Amino acid sequence: MQPKQEHKALIIKVSDLTHYMLCPRLVYFRARGYEQPKIAEGKERSVIEHILLKELGFNVRKVYGGNAEGGEGYKQDEEDVKQVIEDIVDGVEWIYKEELKTVGKAFFEDVKSDFLSGIGNTEWLEKLKNENTTLAELERAYGYEREHTMRSEKLSMVGSVDKLIRTEEEAIPCVIKTGRCPEYGVWKSDRMQLAAYAMLIEEEFGTTVQRGFVDYIRTADIRESHIKKRDRALAFQILKHVKKIKKGAYPDKGENAPCDSCAFIDRCETKKTLLSKLLGK
């Protein structure tokens, strides 16, 4: 009699949950082993800009955070700040070497130059300089851990939060977003993502997460978000849906699925045709 085979536990990434909200079929095709290219053809510039903004989100607020050589409360002038931003951007090609390996050096330098010209405008810098947000104060007082990875066997979930701030009383997640910022509050998908990280943090540190932050770096906007029951419920519901998809269920397309820029569009349409034939439709 052969011994029973142990099945490897299914672990869901928080990124699977965010992909589900974009379009459930992204989760399906990724689970089948069809990985999207690191940089889709025709989208090189926007992907590079996303990477540059992300790295700014990790570092640029330190410029005005009292951590400079001038000591607590020291404010650098505009030219100093622009130099710091340029230094941050220069490090990107080394930090994101895997993501950028297919990008030509000349093209990358052109995008970087255009990016620096745009992001260094007076309005963006002034907004950054005059920020007096709770997140900025917390980072100055406690710092943060970059890309802290957590794993929960109970939830069957793993995730790496962009910033984790730990005070004497709280553990606070922060995510950096490079897309557009809502007029008010935080996008639903971002609230769900914060709730998912909150559940992971709570299990690891034995605490209750009351709030999180979303840094919309493109417009230098920081939004605080209280972790509500509805956000937790949504994260937990999507987690269950993703598990079913990973086990083979074929989901409906998302209402606002980005089909025009999706690398799986051909597979998606082929799958739809095959299902229609099987169902006699």
Spell out where 125-247 has E strands: 145-152, 157-166, 171-177, 211-216, 221-226
Q: Confirm if 161 and 175 have CB atoms less than 8 A apart.
A: yes
- Judgement on whether residues 146 and 222 belong to the same structural domain of the protein: yes
Q: Let me know if residue 117 belongs to a domain.
A: yes
Q: Let me know if residue 183 belongs to a domain.
A: yes
CA distance 60 to 78: 13
Tell which wins on pLDDT, 74 or 271. Answer: 271
Q: Let me know if residue 19 belongs to a domain.
A: no
Q: Between the CA of residue 12 and those of 19, 183, 245, 261, 279, what are the distances in Å?
A: 12, 31, 11, 24, 31
What confidence category does residue 136 fall into, taking pLDDT thresholds of 50, 70 and 90?
confident
What confidence category does residue 38 fall into, taking pLDDT thresholds of 50, 70 and 90?
low
- Judgement on whether residues 105 and 88 belong to the same structural domain of the protein: yes
pLDDT over 70 percentage in the chain: 83
What confidence category does residue 22 fall into, taking pLDDT thresholds of 50, 70 and 90?
very high
- Judgement on whether residues 214 and 183 belong to the same structural domain of the protein: yes
pLDDT digits (tens, 9 = 90+) for 66-90: 444 444 444 456 677 778 888 999 9
- Judgement on whether residues 125 and 189 belong to the same structural domain of the protein: no
Poorest-pLDDT segment among 18-27, 98-107, 161-170, 207-216: 98-107
Q: Let me know if residue 10 belongs to a domain.
A: no
Q: Let me know if residue 147 belongs to a domain.
A: yes
Q: Confirm if 223 and 186 have CB atoms less than 8 A apart.
A: yes
pLDDT digits (tens, 9 = 90+) for 146-201: 999 999 999 999 999 999 999 999 999 999 999 999 999 999 999 999 999 999 99
Q: Confirm if 195 and 145 have CB atoms less than 8 A apart.
A: no
Residue type, 15: S
- Bridge-based pairing of strands 157-166 and 12-13 is parallel
**What angle is formed at CA 87 by the lines to CA 85 and CA 93, rounded to 5 degrees?**
110
pLDDT over 90 percentage in the chain: 53
Q: Tell me what the pLDDT averaged over the chain comes to.
A: 85
pLDDT average, residue stretch 92-98: 90
Q: Any idea what DSSP says for residue 169?
A: S
- Judgement on whether residues 74 and 121 belong to the same structural domain of the protein: yes
Domain count, the chain: 2
Poorest-pLDDT segment among 1-5, 106-110, 228-232: 1-5
**Domain range spanning residue 97?**
44-130
Per-residue model confidence (pLDDT) at position 36: 66
Given 107, 130, 153, the domain boundary residue is 130
CATH number of the domain within which 152 lies: 3.90.320.10
Per-residue model confidence (pLDDT) at position 73: 42
What DSSP string describes 21-88? Answer: HH-HHHHHHHHTT-PPPSS-TT-HHHHHHHHHHHHHHHHGGGGGTT-STT-TT----HHHHHHHHHHH
Q: Let me know if residue 173 belongs to a domain.
A: yes
For residue 254, is pLDDT > 60?
yes
- Judgement on whether residues 83 and 153 belong to the same structural domain of the protein: no
Dig out the tokens for 49 from the structure.
């800009």
What DSSP string describes 93-148? Answer: HHHTTTTTTTS-HHHHHHHHHHHHHHHT-HHHHHHHHT---HHHHHHHHH--EEEE
Tell which wins on pLDDT, 164 or 273. Answer: 164
Q: Let me know if residue 163 belongs to a domain.
A: yes
